[in-house]
A and B are shown apart, each in its own frame.
Chain A
Amino acid sequence: MDTLARIRQLAAKEFSINPDGLDPSAPLDTLGIDSLSFIEFMFKVEEEFGVNVSDEDLKAIKTLSDLERQVAAALSAAGKV
Protein backbone atom coordinates (compact mmCIF):
# COMPACT_ATOMS: atom_id res chain seq x y z
CA MET A 1 0.00 0.00 0.00
CA ASP A 2 1.36 3.41 -0.86
CA THR A 3 1.99 6.11 1.69
CA LEU A 4 -1.11 8.15 0.89
CA ALA A 5 -3.37 5.09 1.06
CA ARG A 6 -1.96 4.21 4.48
CA ILE A 7 -2.45 7.77 5.69
CA ARG A 8 -6.00 7.81 4.41
CA GLN A 9 -6.73 4.55 6.17
CA LEU A 10 -5.30 5.85 9.45
CA ALA A 11 -7.26 9.08 9.14
CA ALA A 12 -10.48 7.25 8.36
CA LYS A 13 -10.07 5.15 11.51
CA GLU A 14 -8.96 8.04 13.72
CA PHE A 15 -11.79 10.34 12.74
CA SER A 16 -14.48 7.75 12.00
CA ILE A 17 -14.91 8.86 8.40
CA ASN A 18 -15.22 6.93 5.18
CA PRO A 19 -11.77 6.72 3.46
CA ASP A 20 -13.42 7.07 0.05
CA GLY A 21 -14.88 10.42 1.07
CA LEU A 22 -11.48 11.80 2.09
CA ASP A 23 -10.24 14.43 -0.34
CA PRO A 24 -6.43 14.55 0.09
CA SER A 25 -6.35 18.14 -1.12
CA ALA A 26 -9.08 19.39 1.21
CA PRO A 27 -7.99 21.62 4.11
CA LEU A 28 -7.96 19.50 7.26
CA ASP A 29 -10.43 21.73 9.10
CA THR A 30 -13.02 21.11 6.40
CA LEU A 31 -12.67 17.39 7.22
CA GLY A 32 -13.58 18.22 10.82
CA ILE A 33 -10.00 17.75 12.01
CA ASP A 34 -9.03 20.47 14.49
CA SER A 35 -5.51 21.33 15.61
CA LEU A 36 -5.60 19.19 18.76
CA SER A 37 -6.93 16.11 17.04
CA PHE A 38 -4.39 16.64 14.26
CA ILE A 39 -1.52 16.58 16.76
CA GLU A 40 -2.86 13.33 18.20
CA PHE A 41 -3.25 11.93 14.69
CA MET A 42 0.35 12.90 13.81
CA PHE A 43 1.53 10.92 16.82
CA LYS A 44 -0.06 7.83 15.31
CA VAL A 45 1.24 8.59 11.82
CA GLU A 46 4.77 8.89 13.21
CA GLU A 47 4.33 5.55 15.01
CA GLU A 48 2.97 3.90 11.87
CA PHE A 49 5.84 5.01 9.66
CA GLY A 50 8.56 5.12 12.27
CA VAL A 51 9.47 8.71 11.45
CA ASN A 52 9.61 12.09 13.17
CA VAL A 53 8.16 15.21 11.62
CA SER A 54 9.66 18.38 13.04
CA ASP A 55 7.49 21.09 14.61
CA GLU A 56 8.38 23.39 11.74
CA ASP A 57 7.38 20.90 9.06
CA LEU A 58 4.22 20.14 11.01
CA LYS A 59 3.09 23.76 10.74
CA ALA A 60 3.24 23.54 6.95
CA ILE A 61 0.78 20.66 6.79
CA LYS A 62 -2.66 21.87 5.74
CA THR A 63 -3.98 18.81 3.87
CA LEU A 64 -3.50 15.05 3.80
CA SER A 65 -1.43 15.49 0.61
CA ASP A 66 0.90 17.84 2.51
CA LEU A 67 1.14 15.21 5.19
CA GLU A 68 2.00 12.52 2.65
CA ARG A 69 4.83 14.72 1.28
CA GLN A 70 6.24 15.30 4.77
CA VAL A 71 6.10 11.61 5.63
CA ALA A 72 7.70 10.66 2.30
CA ALA A 73 10.46 13.21 2.90
CA ALA A 74 11.02 11.90 6.42
CA LEU A 75 11.13 8.32 5.16
CA SER A 76 13.58 9.26 2.48
CA ALA A 77 15.76 11.22 4.95
CA ALA A 78 15.81 8.18 7.20
CA GLY A 79 16.82 6.01 4.25
CA LYS A 80 13.63 3.97 4.52
CA VAL A 81 12.65 4.16 0.87
Chain B
Amino acid sequence: MARVAVTGAGVISPLGESLAEFHRSLRAGRSAIRRLAPELTERTGVQVAAPLDWDPAAHFKESEAASLDRASQFALAAAGQAIADSGLKIEDDNRVRIGVSWGTGMGGAHTQEASYQQVYGAGEWRVRPLTVVMGMNNAPGSNVAVRHGLRGPFANFSTACSSSAMALGEAMRQIAAGRADAMIAGGCEALLTPGILVAWQALRTLAPADAADPAASCKPFDKRRAGLVLGEGAAAFVLEEESRARARGARIYALLTGYGNSCDAVHMSRPDRAGQVRAMQEALAEARLAPQDVGYINAHGTATAVGDRVEAEAINAVFGDAAREVRVSSTKSLHGHLLGGSGAIEFAATLLALEGVLPPTGFLDQPDPACALRHVARSAERVDPPRAVMSNSFAFGGSNVVLVAERP
Protein backbone atom coordinates (compact mmCIF):
# COMPACT_ATOMS: atom_id res chain seq x y z
CA MET B 1 0.00 0.00 0.00
CA ALA B 2 1.22 3.50 -0.86
CA ARG B 3 2.68 5.53 1.98
CA VAL B 4 1.61 9.09 2.62
CA ALA B 5 3.95 12.03 3.18
CA VAL B 6 3.11 15.37 4.76
CA THR B 7 4.78 17.94 2.53
CA GLY B 8 3.11 21.22 3.42
CA ALA B 9 1.48 22.83 6.43
CA GLY B 10 -0.55 25.96 7.09
CA VAL B 11 -1.85 27.26 10.40
CA ILE B 12 -4.27 30.04 11.29
CA SER B 13 -4.51 29.87 15.06
CA PRO B 14 -4.83 31.99 18.16
CA LEU B 15 -1.14 31.14 18.70
CA GLY B 16 0.02 32.49 15.38
CA GLU B 17 -0.82 32.58 11.71
CA SER B 18 1.80 30.20 10.30
CA LEU B 19 3.24 26.83 11.27
CA ALA B 20 6.49 28.50 12.38
CA GLU B 21 4.73 31.06 14.55
CA PHE B 22 2.45 28.38 16.02
CA HIS B 23 5.48 26.25 16.87
CA ARG B 24 7.29 29.21 18.42
CA SER B 25 4.31 29.83 20.71
CA LEU B 26 4.17 26.15 21.70
CA ARG B 27 7.91 26.11 22.47
CA ALA B 28 7.41 29.15 24.68
CA GLY B 29 4.34 27.64 26.36
CA ARG B 30 2.42 30.79 25.51
CA SER B 31 -1.36 30.76 26.00
CA ALA B 32 -3.79 32.62 23.74
CA ILE B 33 -6.65 32.27 26.19
CA ARG B 34 -8.06 35.55 27.41
CA ARG B 35 -11.13 37.21 28.87
CA LEU B 36 -14.01 37.91 26.51
CA ALA B 37 -15.53 41.37 26.26
CA PRO B 38 -17.47 42.11 29.48
CA GLU B 39 -20.74 42.59 27.58
CA LEU B 40 -20.42 39.16 25.96
CA THR B 41 -19.58 37.55 29.31
CA GLU B 42 -22.52 39.24 30.98
CA ARG B 43 -24.93 37.91 28.36
CA THR B 44 -23.56 34.44 27.74
CA GLY B 45 -21.87 33.62 31.01
CA VAL B 46 -18.74 32.57 29.11
CA GLN B 47 -15.69 34.24 30.62
CA VAL B 48 -12.72 33.17 28.52
CA ALA B 49 -11.90 31.96 25.01
CA ALA B 50 -9.00 31.84 22.57
CA PRO B 51 -10.16 34.15 19.77
CA LEU B 52 -8.15 35.12 16.73
CA ASP B 53 -7.26 38.74 16.03
CA TRP B 54 -8.28 38.24 12.43
CA ASP B 55 -7.92 40.89 9.78
CA PRO B 56 -9.71 39.73 6.60
CA ALA B 57 -8.24 42.66 4.67
CA ALA B 58 -4.78 41.15 5.09
CA HIS B 59 -5.92 38.08 3.15
CA PHE B 60 -8.83 39.02 0.88
CA LYS B 61 -10.23 41.82 -1.21
CA GLU B 62 -13.16 43.47 0.56
CA SER B 63 -15.65 42.01 -1.91
CA GLU B 64 -14.18 38.50 -1.46
CA ALA B 65 -14.22 38.67 2.31
CA ALA B 66 -17.86 39.74 2.24
CA SER B 67 -18.82 36.51 0.51
CA LEU B 68 -16.80 34.19 2.77
CA ASP B 69 -17.81 33.15 6.26
CA ARG B 70 -15.08 33.56 8.87
CA ALA B 71 -14.61 29.76 8.86
CA SER B 72 -14.01 29.74 5.10
CA GLN B 73 -11.59 32.64 5.43
CA PHE B 74 -9.56 30.63 7.94
CA ALA B 75 -9.72 27.56 5.68
CA LEU B 76 -8.55 29.42 2.58
CA ALA B 77 -5.72 31.11 4.44
CA ALA B 78 -4.45 27.88 6.00
CA ALA B 79 -4.79 25.84 2.81
CA GLY B 80 -3.08 28.56 0.77
CA GLN B 81 -0.13 28.48 3.16
CA ALA B 82 0.06 24.68 3.04
CA ILE B 83 0.04 24.52 -0.75
CA ALA B 84 2.65 27.26 -1.08
CA ASP B 85 4.76 25.59 1.61
CA SER B 86 4.68 22.24 -0.18
CA GLY B 87 5.84 23.62 -3.52
CA LEU B 88 3.26 21.32 -5.15
CA LYS B 89 2.40 22.63 -8.60
CA ILE B 90 -1.31 22.33 -9.34
CA GLU B 91 -1.75 22.21 -13.08
CA ASP B 92 -4.31 21.08 -15.61
CA ASP B 93 -2.67 17.68 -15.98
CA ASN B 94 -2.74 16.83 -12.26
CA ARG B 95 -5.68 18.69 -10.75
CA VAL B 96 -8.09 15.75 -11.14
CA ARG B 97 -5.68 13.70 -9.03
CA ILE B 98 -5.62 16.22 -6.17
CA GLY B 99 -8.55 16.39 -3.77
CA VAL B 100 -9.77 18.06 -0.61
CA SER B 101 -10.62 16.38 2.67
CA TRP B 102 -11.92 18.86 5.20
CA GLY B 103 -13.38 18.84 8.69
CA THR B 104 -15.52 21.33 10.56
CA GLY B 105 -18.07 21.03 13.32
CA MET B 106 -20.38 23.88 12.41
CA GLY B 107 -19.21 25.29 9.10
CA GLY B 108 -20.36 28.87 8.55
CA ALA B 109 -21.66 29.49 12.04
CA HIS B 110 -21.32 33.27 11.84
CA THR B 111 -23.40 33.35 8.66
CA GLN B 112 -26.10 31.14 10.16
CA GLU B 113 -26.27 33.27 13.26
CA ALA B 114 -26.43 36.52 11.28
CA SER B 115 -29.37 35.08 9.40
CA TYR B 116 -31.23 34.11 12.59
CA GLN B 117 -30.41 37.47 14.15
CA GLN B 118 -31.98 39.16 11.14
CA VAL B 119 -35.13 37.02 11.27
CA TYR B 120 -35.75 36.55 14.98
CA GLY B 121 -33.77 39.45 16.43
CA ALA B 122 -34.50 42.27 14.02
CA GLY B 123 -37.79 40.77 12.85
CA GLU B 124 -36.69 41.30 9.24
CA TRP B 125 -37.68 38.30 7.17
CA ARG B 126 -35.16 39.12 4.54
CA VAL B 127 -31.67 37.62 4.60
CA ARG B 128 -28.64 37.75 2.36
CA PRO B 129 -28.92 35.54 -0.73
CA LEU B 130 -25.48 34.12 0.00
CA THR B 131 -26.62 32.83 3.41
CA VAL B 132 -26.95 29.26 2.17
CA VAL B 133 -23.66 28.96 0.33
CA MET B 134 -21.69 30.84 2.98
CA GLY B 135 -23.26 29.02 5.90
CA MET B 136 -23.34 25.43 4.70
CA ASN B 137 -21.07 23.00 6.46
CA ASN B 138 -19.04 22.10 3.37
CA ALA B 139 -18.39 25.74 2.41
CA PRO B 140 -14.86 25.94 3.86
CA GLY B 141 -13.59 22.81 2.08
CA SER B 142 -15.42 23.67 -1.12
CA ASN B 143 -13.90 27.14 -1.13
CA VAL B 144 -10.46 25.54 -0.92
CA ALA B 145 -11.27 23.28 -3.88
CA VAL B 146 -12.67 26.14 -5.97
CA ARG B 147 -9.81 28.52 -5.18
CA HIS B 148 -7.13 26.04 -6.25
CA GLY B 149 -9.07 24.10 -8.88
CA LEU B 150 -8.76 20.79 -7.04
CA ARG B 151 -10.92 18.34 -8.96
CA GLY B 152 -10.05 15.05 -7.29
CA PRO B 153 -11.96 13.37 -4.45
CA PHE B 154 -13.81 15.75 -2.13
CA ALA B 155 -15.16 15.04 1.32
CA ASN B 156 -16.27 17.07 4.29
CA PHE B 157 -16.39 15.46 7.72
CA SER B 158 -18.49 16.78 10.54
CA THR B 159 -18.02 14.68 13.64
CA ALA B 160 -17.64 17.46 16.19
CA CYS B 161 -14.17 17.40 17.81
CA SER B 162 -12.78 14.62 15.62
CA SER B 163 -13.83 16.20 12.30
CA SER B 164 -10.48 17.34 11.01
CA ALA B 165 -8.51 14.39 12.38
CA MET B 166 -10.92 12.23 10.41
CA ALA B 167 -10.36 14.45 7.37
CA LEU B 168 -6.62 13.74 7.60
CA GLY B 169 -7.12 10.02 8.14
CA GLU B 170 -9.57 9.66 5.28
CA ALA B 171 -7.31 11.73 3.00
CA MET B 172 -4.53 9.29 3.79
CA ARG B 173 -6.84 6.43 2.76
CA GLN B 174 -7.69 8.11 -0.55
CA ILE B 175 -4.00 8.34 -1.40
CA ALA B 176 -3.15 4.88 -0.08
CA ALA B 177 -5.96 3.41 -2.19
CA GLY B 178 -4.61 5.14 -5.29
CA ARG B 179 -7.64 7.39 -5.74
CA ALA B 180 -5.57 10.56 -5.47
CA ASP B 181 -1.91 11.53 -5.74
CA ALA B 182 -2.27 14.36 -3.27
CA MET B 183 -4.92 15.70 -0.89
CA ILE B 184 -5.33 19.02 0.84
CA ALA B 185 -6.51 17.94 4.27
CA GLY B 186 -7.38 19.93 7.31
CA GLY B 187 -10.12 21.60 9.23
CA CYS B 188 -11.41 24.79 10.70
CA GLU B 189 -13.83 26.24 13.19
CA ALA B 190 -15.17 29.73 13.79
CA LEU B 191 -18.06 29.60 16.19
CA LEU B 192 -17.37 32.15 18.89
CA THR B 193 -20.77 33.77 18.33
CA PRO B 194 -23.10 34.81 21.16
CA GLY B 195 -25.70 32.19 20.23
CA ILE B 196 -23.18 29.36 20.24
CA LEU B 197 -21.28 30.55 23.30
CA VAL B 198 -24.49 30.57 25.33
CA ALA B 199 -25.26 27.05 24.12
CA TRP B 200 -21.85 25.80 25.26
CA GLN B 201 -22.34 27.57 28.56
CA ALA B 202 -25.64 25.74 29.00
CA LEU B 203 -23.72 22.44 28.79
CA ARG B 204 -21.71 23.45 31.87
CA THR B 205 -18.45 22.20 30.46
CA LEU B 206 -16.63 25.51 29.99
CA ALA B 207 -13.92 26.64 32.38
CA PRO B 208 -14.42 29.92 34.21
CA ALA B 209 -11.59 32.46 34.11
CA ASP B 210 -8.65 31.66 36.36
CA ALA B 211 -8.90 34.54 38.81
CA ALA B 212 -5.16 35.13 38.99
CA ASP B 213 -4.33 34.55 35.33
CA PRO B 214 -7.07 34.23 32.67
CA ALA B 215 -4.48 32.76 30.25
CA ALA B 216 -4.22 29.78 32.63
CA SER B 217 -7.93 28.97 32.64
CA CYS B 218 -7.63 25.64 30.83
CA LYS B 219 -5.74 23.06 32.92
CA PRO B 220 -5.88 19.57 31.41
CA PHE B 221 -4.91 16.68 33.71
CA ASP B 222 -4.59 19.05 36.68
CA LYS B 223 -6.50 18.46 39.91
CA ARG B 224 -7.89 21.96 39.54
CA ARG B 225 -9.15 21.49 35.98
CA ALA B 226 -12.54 23.09 35.48
CA GLY B 227 -13.48 22.50 31.87
CA LEU B 228 -12.60 23.42 28.34
CA VAL B 229 -12.00 26.78 26.71
CA LEU B 230 -13.25 27.40 23.18
CA GLY B 231 -10.91 28.58 20.43
CA GLU B 232 -11.06 29.14 16.69
CA GLY B 233 -8.83 28.78 13.66
CA ALA B 234 -7.71 26.31 11.01
CA ALA B 235 -4.87 24.07 9.96
CA ALA B 236 -4.24 22.45 6.61
CA PHE B 237 -1.74 20.00 5.20
CA VAL B 238 -0.62 18.77 1.84
CA LEU B 239 -0.54 14.97 1.87
CA GLU B 240 1.17 13.23 -1.03
CA GLU B 241 1.94 9.72 -2.07
CA GLU B 242 5.47 9.29 -0.73
CA SER B 243 7.31 8.22 -3.89
CA ARG B 244 5.88 11.18 -5.83
CA ALA B 245 6.85 13.57 -3.06
CA ARG B 246 10.39 12.18 -3.03
CA ALA B 247 10.63 12.23 -6.81
CA ARG B 248 9.92 15.95 -6.92
CA GLY B 249 12.35 16.60 -4.06
CA ALA B 250 9.68 17.83 -1.66
CA ARG B 251 10.56 18.49 1.95
CA ILE B 252 8.78 15.85 4.03
CA TYR B 253 7.68 16.79 7.54
CA ALA B 254 6.36 13.39 8.44
CA LEU B 255 4.79 10.21 7.18
CA LEU B 256 1.18 9.71 8.14
CA THR B 257 1.10 5.98 8.73
CA GLY B 258 -1.72 5.16 11.14
CA TYR B 259 -5.38 6.10 11.38
CA GLY B 260 -7.76 4.62 13.91
CA ASN B 261 -11.47 5.33 13.82
CA SER B 262 -14.03 3.97 16.26
CA CYS B 263 -17.34 4.93 17.82
CA ASP B 264 -18.12 4.50 21.51
CA ALA B 265 -21.80 4.04 20.73
CA VAL B 266 -22.74 4.40 24.37
CA HIS B 267 -23.49 8.07 25.06
CA MET B 268 -23.69 11.38 23.21
CA SER B 269 -21.22 13.24 25.42
CA ARG B 270 -19.71 10.89 28.04
CA PRO B 271 -16.46 9.35 26.71
CA ASP B 272 -15.88 5.61 26.82
CA ARG B 273 -12.51 4.04 27.45
CA ALA B 274 -13.10 0.98 25.27
CA GLY B 275 -13.81 3.07 22.18
CA GLN B 276 -10.70 5.17 22.68
CA VAL B 277 -8.58 2.06 23.23
CA ARG B 278 -9.81 0.54 19.98
CA ALA B 279 -8.99 3.69 18.00
CA MET B 280 -5.45 3.89 19.42
CA GLN B 281 -4.82 0.18 18.84
CA GLU B 282 -6.13 0.37 15.30
CA ALA B 283 -3.86 3.33 14.48
CA LEU B 284 -0.80 1.55 15.91
CA ALA B 285 -1.66 -1.64 14.04
CA GLU B 286 -2.02 0.16 10.76
CA ALA B 287 1.34 1.86 11.30
CA ARG B 288 2.80 -1.53 12.34
CA LEU B 289 4.22 0.07 15.44
CA ALA B 290 4.50 -1.13 19.01
CA PRO B 291 3.53 1.24 21.84
CA GLN B 292 7.20 1.75 22.75
CA ASP B 293 7.86 3.20 19.27
CA VAL B 294 5.67 6.18 20.14
CA GLY B 295 7.51 8.97 21.94
CA TYR B 296 4.76 11.54 22.28
CA ILE B 297 0.98 11.69 22.41
CA ASN B 298 -0.93 14.89 21.81
CA ALA B 299 -3.90 14.04 24.00
CA HIS B 300 -7.46 15.07 23.36
CA GLY B 301 -7.25 16.46 26.93
CA THR B 302 -10.06 18.98 27.05
CA ALA B 303 -9.71 19.56 30.82
CA THR B 304 -13.08 18.16 31.76
CA ALA B 305 -13.19 16.06 34.94
CA VAL B 306 -14.32 12.84 33.28
CA GLY B 307 -12.72 13.27 29.85
CA ASP B 308 -9.12 13.56 31.03
CA ARG B 309 -9.45 10.65 33.45
CA VAL B 310 -10.96 8.33 30.85
CA GLU B 311 -8.30 9.25 28.28
CA ALA B 312 -5.51 8.63 30.80
CA GLU B 313 -6.99 5.21 31.56
CA ALA B 314 -7.27 4.44 27.85
CA ILE B 315 -3.65 5.43 27.17
CA ASN B 316 -2.49 3.27 30.07
CA ALA B 317 -4.57 0.36 28.81
CA VAL B 318 -3.05 0.59 25.32
CA PHE B 319 0.54 1.41 26.27
CA GLY B 320 0.94 -0.77 29.37
CA ASP B 321 4.53 -0.51 30.63
CA ALA B 322 5.36 1.85 27.74
CA ALA B 323 3.01 4.41 29.32
CA ARG B 324 5.79 5.15 31.80
CA GLU B 325 7.92 6.46 28.93
CA VAL B 326 5.56 8.02 26.42
CA ARG B 327 5.28 11.78 26.95
CA VAL B 328 1.78 13.20 26.89
CA SER B 329 0.47 16.74 26.67
CA SER B 330 -2.69 18.61 25.80
CA THR B 331 -1.93 21.77 23.86
CA LYS B 332 -5.57 22.84 24.26
CA SER B 333 -4.31 24.50 27.42
CA LEU B 334 -2.61 27.02 25.12
CA HIS B 335 -4.68 27.34 21.92
CA GLY B 336 -8.07 26.40 23.32
CA HIS B 337 -10.41 23.82 21.86
CA LEU B 338 -10.81 24.36 18.12
CA LEU B 339 -13.58 21.71 18.04
CA GLY B 340 -13.84 20.62 14.40
CA GLY B 341 -10.45 22.20 13.77
CA SER B 342 -8.75 20.63 16.78
CA GLY B 343 -7.51 17.43 15.11
CA ALA B 344 -5.75 19.43 12.41
CA ILE B 345 -4.23 22.07 14.67
CA GLU B 346 -3.03 19.38 17.07
CA PHE B 347 -1.53 17.39 14.21
CA ALA B 348 0.44 20.57 13.49
CA ALA B 349 1.61 20.45 17.12
CA THR B 350 2.78 16.85 16.75
CA LEU B 351 5.03 17.91 13.85
CA LEU B 352 7.00 19.93 16.40
CA ALA B 353 7.26 16.85 18.61
CA LEU B 354 8.74 14.87 15.69
CA GLU B 355 11.57 17.42 15.65
CA GLY B 356 12.30 16.60 19.29
CA VAL B 357 10.52 19.52 20.93
CA LEU B 358 7.53 18.30 22.93
CA PRO B 359 4.87 20.97 23.38
CA PRO B 360 3.60 21.24 26.94
CA THR B 361 0.34 21.07 28.82
CA GLY B 362 0.33 24.63 30.05
CA PHE B 363 -0.29 25.41 33.72
CA LEU B 364 -0.14 21.76 34.82
CA ASP B 365 1.17 22.27 38.35
CA GLN B 366 -0.87 19.72 40.28
CA PRO B 367 -1.25 16.56 38.18
CA ASP B 368 -4.35 14.59 39.10
CA PRO B 369 -3.30 11.10 40.31
CA ALA B 370 -6.36 9.80 38.47
CA CYS B 371 -4.63 10.94 35.25
CA ALA B 372 -1.39 9.03 35.74
CA LEU B 373 0.68 9.81 32.65
CA ARG B 374 4.19 11.03 31.91
CA HIS B 375 3.18 14.64 31.38
CA VAL B 376 5.05 17.34 29.54
CA ALA B 377 4.05 19.88 32.14
CA ARG B 378 4.24 23.67 31.99
CA SER B 379 7.11 24.04 29.53
CA ALA B 380 8.31 22.36 26.36
CA GLU B 381 10.71 19.46 26.71
CA ARG B 382 13.61 18.75 24.37
CA VAL B 383 14.20 15.07 23.61
CA ASP B 384 15.82 12.92 20.94
CA PRO B 385 13.39 13.09 18.02
CA PRO B 386 10.89 10.27 18.57
CA ARG B 387 10.32 7.68 15.86
CA ALA B 388 6.57 8.17 16.00
CA VAL B 389 3.95 10.43 17.54
CA MET B 390 0.22 10.06 18.12
CA SER B 391 -2.63 12.55 18.14
CA ASN B 392 -5.97 11.77 19.81
CA SER B 393 -9.30 13.37 18.94
CA PHE B 394 -12.37 12.17 20.81
CA ALA B 395 -15.69 13.77 19.99
CA PHE B 396 -19.20 14.31 21.24
CA GLY B 397 -21.27 11.64 19.61
CA GLY B 398 -18.64 9.07 20.58
CA SER B 399 -16.41 9.39 17.51
CA ASN B 400 -12.76 8.57 18.24
CA VAL B 401 -9.99 9.32 15.77
CA VAL B 402 -6.31 8.62 16.34
CA LEU B 403 -3.53 9.59 13.93
CA VAL B 404 0.01 8.22 14.02
CA ALA B 405 2.85 10.01 12.23
CA GLU B 406 6.46 8.98 11.84
CA ARG B 407 9.71 10.69 11.08
CA PRO B 408 10.39 10.55 7.34
Contact = CB atoms under 8 A, between A and B. Distances in A.
Interface residues of A, number: 10
B63 A36 contact: no
B160 to A, nearest CB: 30
A39 interface: yes
Main secondary structure of the interface of A (DSSP, over half): helix
A36 B132 CA distance: 11
Contact of A16 (B63, B128, B129, B130): B63
Interface string A1-23: 00000000000011110000000
A40 interface: yes
A13 B130 contact: no
Contact of A14 (B63, B128, B129, B133): B63
A42 B64 CA distance: 17
Interface string B95-131: 0000000000000000000000000000000001110
A13 B64 CA distance: 11
B193 interface: no
Contact of B63 (A13, A39, A42, A43): A13
Contact of B61 (A16, A37, A39, A43): A16
Interface in A22-48: 36-37, 39-40, 42-43
B351 to A, nearest CB: 36
Contacts, number: 21
A37 B63 CA distance: 10
A43 B131 CA distance: 12
Contacts of A15: 63
B244 to A, nearest CB: 35
Contacts of B63: 13-16
B61 A40 contact: no
A16 B57 CA distance: 13
Contacts of B62: 13, 16
Nearest to A14: B63
Nearest to A43: B129
A43 B67 contact: no
Interface in B122-160: 128-130, 133
B66 to A, nearest CB: 8
A43 B128 CA distance: 7
Nearest to A44: B128
Interface in B47-105: 61-64, 66-67
A51 to B, nearest CB: 13
A69 B22 CA distance: 54
21 contacts: A13-B62, A13-B63, A14-B63, A14-B66, A15-B63, A16-B61, A16-B62, A16-B63, A16-B64, A36-B129, A36-B130, A36-B133, A37-B67, A39-B129, A40-B67, A40-B128, A40-B129, A40-B130, A42-B129, A43-B128, A43-B129
Given A15-B63, A40-B67, 7 more contacts: A14-B63, A14-B66, A16-B62, A36-B130, A39-B129, A42-B129, A43-B129
Interface of B: 61-64, 66-67, 128-130, 133
